[in-house]
Chains A and B, each alone.
Chain A
């Protein structure tokens, strides 16, 4: 008896996006591109079915990551100031990779602000990293100064805190 090969897509279930997709944006590292980056990331997040609230979180986290690159990654003399925003979608998660080729930094040296302390001292700045970590499920850095620096941010389709499955929109 010939056993019919199982359709891996049905195994995953109709609630999950069943094909891996990749979306890429390569653009000058300038603040006037932040709106474009938010639109790009937001539209893709919307397309795969995140709620309006989660789309807002992903847009903001990505804006913060790119703002850090634009403000700190490159020195004045650097001619090629560009950044890449790549979105990878697989069965479980939505991953945003923000990559630059600037001077990098030591991620261990980044102090996540204690918000009570922060508010008491009325500090300016430093909120971006706190926001990224709060808005996304995972944030990791891969720093190779002058070669490639990458921030990886992940949002799972199942909200770990509420165990709610995010329903992707019907395709087509």
Chain B
């Protein structure tokens, strides 16, 4: 879909989904498909980089809600990074920062996953 962009980068056990454009009821199925593909590939350590995303509605938020439980049950997580203040405000309005690990930069999210892995060794 032209107004929503998604690209996937796999690095060892981590996967980054870079999303851009807008995430609404029209484009949310693309994100849903991409995350479902990660579930099928059994990749549960996911970073979503919001750098180029300029709009999100509840349809987009609902996609993350739909997967987070399964991902955590599998020992993974969705960590979110690089949100603009506009996007963060929507998450904040709904109290989502208590539910999701939201960090400033993608490297912080990577470090958190790496630290958690080394703690488990």
Contact = CB atoms under 8 A, between A and B. Distances in A.
Q: How large is the interface on B (under 10, 10 to 19, 20 to 34, 35 or more residues)?
A: 20 to 34
B66 interface: yes
B50 interface: no
Interface in A45-83: 53, 56, 59-60, 63-64, 67, 70-71
A128 interface: yes
A147 interface: no
| Central interface residue in B25, B26, B66, B95, by most chain A CB within 10 Å | B25
Given A35-B3, A56-B89, A63 B24 contact: yes
A105 interface: no
Contact of A60 (B62, B90, B98): B90
B59 interface: yes
A35 B65 contact: no
B61 interface: yes
Contacts of B61: 127
Contacts of A35: 3, 22, 24, 26
Interface of B is mostly: helix
Contact of A124 (B24, B65, B89, B93): B65
B93 A34 contact: no
Given A119-B99, A131-B58, A34 B66 contact: no
A125 B95 contact: no
Interface in A108-143: 115-116, 119, 122-125, 127-128, 130-131, 134-135
B94 interface: yes
B57 interface: yes
A9 interface: no
B69 interface: yes
Contacts of B65: 122-124
Q: How large is the interface on A (under 10, 10 to 19, 20 to 34, 35 or more residues)?
A: 20 to 34
A85 to B, nearest CB: 15
Contacts of A31: 24-26
Given A56-B89, A119-B98, A131-B93, 5 more contacts: A35-B22, A64-B58, A125-B62, A131-B58, A135-B93
Interface of A: 31-32, 34-35, 38, 53, 56, 59-60, 63-64, 67, 70-71, 115-116, 119, 122-125, 127-128, 130-131, 134-135
18 contacts: A32-B26, A34-B25, A34-B26, A38-B24, A53-B89, A63-B57, A64-B58, A115-B94, A115-B95, A116-B95, A119-B95, A122-B69, A127-B61, A127-B62, A127-B94, A131-B58, A131-B94, A135-B93
